[in-house]
Amino acid sequence: MYDASTYPKSNALYAEAKQYLPGGNTRTTVFEKPFPLYASHGKGCHVWDVDGNRRIDCINNYTSLIHGHAHPGIHQAVLKQMERGTCFGMPTESEISLARELVRRLDSVDTVRFTNSGTEAVMMAIKAARAYTGRPKIAKVEGAYHGSYDPAEISLDPGPQQWGGNTPNPVPYAKGTPASVIEDVIVLPFNDPDKAKELISLHGRDLAAILIDPLPNRAGLIPASDAFLGAIRETADAVGALVIFDEVISFRLSHGGAQALFSISPDLTTLGKVIGGGFPVGAVGGRRDVMAVFDPSSGKPALPHGGTFSANPVTMQAGCAALEYLDEQAFSHLDRIGGEVRHAANEALKRHGVPGVVVGMGSLLKIHFTDRAPANYRAVYPTPAETSKLRIFNRTLIENGILPSGYGLMALSTAMAADDIHQINAAIDLAIRAVKN
Ligand code: PLP
């Protein structure tokens, strides 16, 4: 049972947390009722809670730990840097090394600017597009998450009563979002090429950029179709707007990121999560002429950008080490285990006669308890009954040695071996059976 008798230490920590943190919470995403489980430590693919329970970590800090916990190579790189100081009001060689590696991997990226989070990377990419084009508006996809910058949050999780017709209403996410922000965001229905062309053309003269995650997790982890991406690229070029790929999560899909797997090339790319090796990070990279908006070498840049901790050497060294171990062999392992878990979970759904589908690519997968075809955000938007099923599924995983995310997302790591995958599949089978009963 998920209660105070089973997890007394987590329960006590939460009681104390409520005194000092609003609702006892810092990250809404890790909030759980009646209380979240508190982490004690992690090693490899395992994480322990403070009550001593070990689980296979299938969320890996929301996709950022691609090598699991306390990877020895990353650990050494971090210790070495810590002995030399943790941050300086001077640039360090380590930021050149990580930028060089990202440029080497991403075909569309000529230069890189580091930030402290994916949110900031998205914010700076939007500001760079505005500075480059001199235009105010952005377009984004209904249901897609891009962090907490106001314009990027528009229509993050609208419910059916807020959708509007074929042209989605821009819906504010947070109370207090200024009307001007809402007016400057165009919302595209996912995987609808004709509507994308129509809306981008209609707002073209004011449009700085189209922000798109090719595999948007919160919109269902459904891949963008070639036709949709093609329509976006073609119409963006026609109206002179930029295309920003948000690869904060999807960079973990291949050596060249998601953009190597999809059919179009973006002007700007935002990164985060895995490129920091487990430390806070973000980056925006892209075409040299666009990235020149950040360049301070000949006076005040079009877009001044600082950040006390941007490109801090501990993160940079951890990121370099994480990417060193993220080679072709690592990707084929991740692709294989991701395929195995997706297959096993889809088979379990069929075997137990539970309506549902497991979608995803590479090391990412997501379960939807619906018999509707997983075509876009609206199609997989859960009914209250489907939300209850996901809750039972997650609780059963937690009780059977697996740590999932609240959103049905799983992100696997290179630290997982055949036995771990076997254990994950067995727990998923039990969890789907529990949903049925
Ligand atoms: N973009 C995407 C696609 C994300 O999934 C996230 C975070 O989950 C972000 C941006 C924001 O990144 P961060 O949490 O580092 O601010």
Distance between CA atoms of residues 225 and 228, nearest Å:
5
Q: Is 186 helix (H, G, I), strand (E, B) or coil?
A: strand
User: What whole-number distance in Å separates Cα of residue 354 and Cα of residue 36?
Assistant: 28
Q: Helix, strand, coil proportions of the chain in percent (round to 5)?
A: 45, 15, 40
Residue 9: per-residue pLDDT: 98
Task: Give the residues of the chain that fall short of pLDDT 50.
Answer: none
Instruction: Note the residue count of the chain.
Output: 437
Residue 62 Cβ contacting ligand 1 at under 6 Å = yes
Atom of ligand 1 nearest to the CA of 273: 15
Ligand 1 centre from 146 Cα, in Å? 5
pLDDT at 5: 96
CA distance 282 to 277: 11
Instruction: Say whether the peptide bond before residue 91 is cis (omega within 30 degrees of 0).
Output: no
Measure the CA angle with vertex 61, ends 259 and 245; round to 5°: 20
Is the beta carbon of 122 within 6 A of some atom in ligand 1?
yes
Q: Which residues contact 270 (CB under 8 A, 6 or more apart)?
A: 118, 121, 122, 125, 146, 244, 245, 246, 247, 248, 282, 283, 284
Please tell me the distance from the alpha carbon of residue 287 to that of residue 111, in angstroms, as a whole number.
7
* Per-residue model confidence (pLDDT) at position 252: 98
d(CA 431, CA 395): 8
In this structure, CATH architecture of domain 72-324: 3-Layer(aba) Sandwich (3.40)
266 lines ligand 1 (CB under 6 A): no
The reply to whether ligand 1 has any atom less than 6 angstroms from the CB of 118 is: yes
Ligand 1 lined by 105 (C-beta under 6 Å): no
Residue 147 near ligand 1, beta carbon < 6 Å: yes
Report pLDDT for 164.
Answer: 86
Q: How far apart are CA 167 and CA 161, in angstroms?
A: 14
Question: What residues does each domain of the chain span?
Answer: 37-70+327-436, 72-324
Distances (CA, A) of 415 to 105, 113, 225, 287, 352: 22, 30, 31, 34, 30
* 3-class DSSP assignment, residue 77: helix
3-state secondary structure of 191: coil
Nearest CA to 363 out of 395, 319, 321, 331 is that of: 331
The answer to whether the CB of 203 is under 6 A from ligand 1 is no
Sort residue 40 into left (φ over 0), alpha (ψ -120 to 50) or beta.
alpha
CA–chain centroid gap for 170, Å, is 21
pLDDT of residue 3: 93
- pLDDT, tens only, 155-200: 999 999 999 888 999 999 999 999 999 999 999 999 999 999 999 9
Contacting residues for 275 by C-beta, under 8 A, at least 6 apart: 98, 102, 251, 281, 283, 319, 322, 323
279 lines ligand 1 (CB under 6 A): no
Q: Which residue owns the Cα nearest ligand 1 atom 10?
A: 146
Binding site membership of 146 for ligand 1 (Cβ less than 6 Å): yes
Q: How far is the CA of 373 from the centre of ligand 1 (A)?
A: 26
Which two structure tokens, joined as six digits, stand for 175?
Answer: 């109370």
Ligand 1 pocket test, candidate residues 248, 269, 309, most atoms within 8 A of CB:
248
What is the three-state SS of 365-381?
Answer: EEEECCCCCCCCHHHHC
Name the token pair of 344: 């096993």
CATH architecture classification, 37-70+327-436? Alpha-Beta Complex (3.90)
pLDDT the model gives residue 264? 85
